[in-house]
Amino acid sequence: MSAPAAAPARTLPPVLRHPGVLFGLAVLLVVLVAALAAPWLGTVDPIQLRPRLRLRPPSGAAWFGTDAFGRDVYSRVVYGARVSLAIGAAVALTAVVLGLAIGLVAGYIRWLDTVVMRVMDGVMAIPSILLAIALVTLSGAGVLTVIVAITIPEIPRVARLVRGVVLSVREEPYVEAAIGAGTRLPLLLWRHVLPNTIAPLIVQGTYVCASAILTEAILSFLGAGIPTEVPSWGNVMAEGRQAFQLAPWVILFPGLCVAATVLAVNILGDGLRDALDPRIARRVGALR
């Protein structure tokens, strides 16, 4: 918004001074760089089949070992980061944007509220995994289908959050003062209501992102996700399932990556929540 523009230049924004935020961002940055620079990180073609090198344990040639088709697990994990991160980011972004729009409308326009929120309740009642399996069955497996399938059940959660914020902010005297000053509804929402939703939305967005990465892994593991020619952490693990006792590395390394990334995103979210919540931030500030 326009507000921070007036603030003088600072060394480091206070949000970035929070250890959780720093740690989460650092881990995510490492994963992101690895995903983008995958071809230059000693990887081979992640879908190249090498029947003679099946289920080899980790070694100097294949750092994370090979899977049942002789494909290099290290390369598959590094390339798989692209899919997992893309899905996490895409789902978070879409769910937040759509949820924000729905929540703003429901929170501010009284007569729409009941209708919209009952529809949202209905959407929330559908188990997300089942919905995803149904969608994949209908329209075929693919990254886009998986993104849509994971996004839909997340929208009501964001919408509820935004609606809650709007309901409390619309009672603030400064919003009434703006109404009294003749500010029309779209501008009123943009100027006085929307900025209040940004901090909780960033936090919610990180949680949505973490849960999307996990859900993608689950869907792929169940065989309802991304097809295996596009490596993702989920389907690499899924393929390691049959040979788990012989070759645990096929599941172990992508599993560690999922765990580390989801943990980093969650810690980032917690950190942002603490740093952006004025009540908590003030308490931390008072302690200094």
Cα torsion 221, 224, 228, 229: sign = negative
Q: Any contact of residue 6 with another protein (CB under 8 A)?
A: yes
Tell me the one-letter amino acid at 75: S
Map residues 194-233 to x or -, x wherever contact with another protein holds by CB under 8 A: -x--------------------------------------
Q: Which is nearer to another protein, 51 or 278 (CB)?
A: 278
- How many helices, marked H, and strands, marked E, lie in the chain? 11, 0
Residue 104's DSSP bridge partners are none
Q: How far is residue 26's CA from residue 23's CA, in Å, rounded to a whole number?
A: 5
CB of 101 to another protein, least distance (A): 21
Q: Answer yes or no: are the C-beta atoms of 99 and 154 closer than 8 Å.
A: yes
Structure tokens of 260?
């580390």
The CA-based diameter of the chain, rounded to the nearest angstrom, is 77
- Total residue count of the chain as it appears in this document: 288
Cβ closest to another protein, residue 239 vs residue 274: 274
Q: What angle do CA 87, 93, 98 make, to 5 degrees?
A: 125
In angstroms, give the least distance from the CB of 206 to another protein: 22
Q: How many whole angstroms from its chain centre is CA 247?
A: 30
Nearer to another protein, 1 or 138 (CB): 1
CB of 10 to another protein, least distance (A): 15
The stretch near another protein (CB under 8 A) out of 29-37, 168-176, 225-233, 234-242 is 168-176
Question: With contact defined as beta carbons under 8 Å apart, do 52 and 43 qualify?
Answer: no
For another protein, give the closer residue by CB, 112 or 130. 112
Answer yes or no whether residue 182 interacts with another protein by CB under 8 A. yes
Q: Minimal distance in Å, beta carbon 179 to another protein?
A: 7
Contact yes or no for 135/145 (Cβ under 8 A):
yes
Provide CB contacts within 8 A for 70, sequence distance 6+: 49, 50, 51, 52, 53, 54, 56
Q: Which is nearer to another protein, 138 or 287 (CB)?
A: 287
Residue 3 found at the interface with another protein (CB under 8 A)? yes
Per CB under 8 A, the segment of 67-75, 93-101, 218-226, 280-288 that binds another protein is 280-288
What's the rounded Cα separation, in Å, for the pair 163 and 176? Answer: 18
- Between 189 and 214, name the residue whose CB sits nearer to another protein: 189
- With CB under 8 A as the contact rule, the residue among 26, 130, 134, 177 that binds another protein is 177
CB of 98 to another protein, least distance (A): 24
Asked if 287 interacts with another protein (CB under 8 A), we say: yes
Binding site for another protein (CB under 8 A): 1-3, 6, 172-174, 176-184, 191-192, 195, 286-288
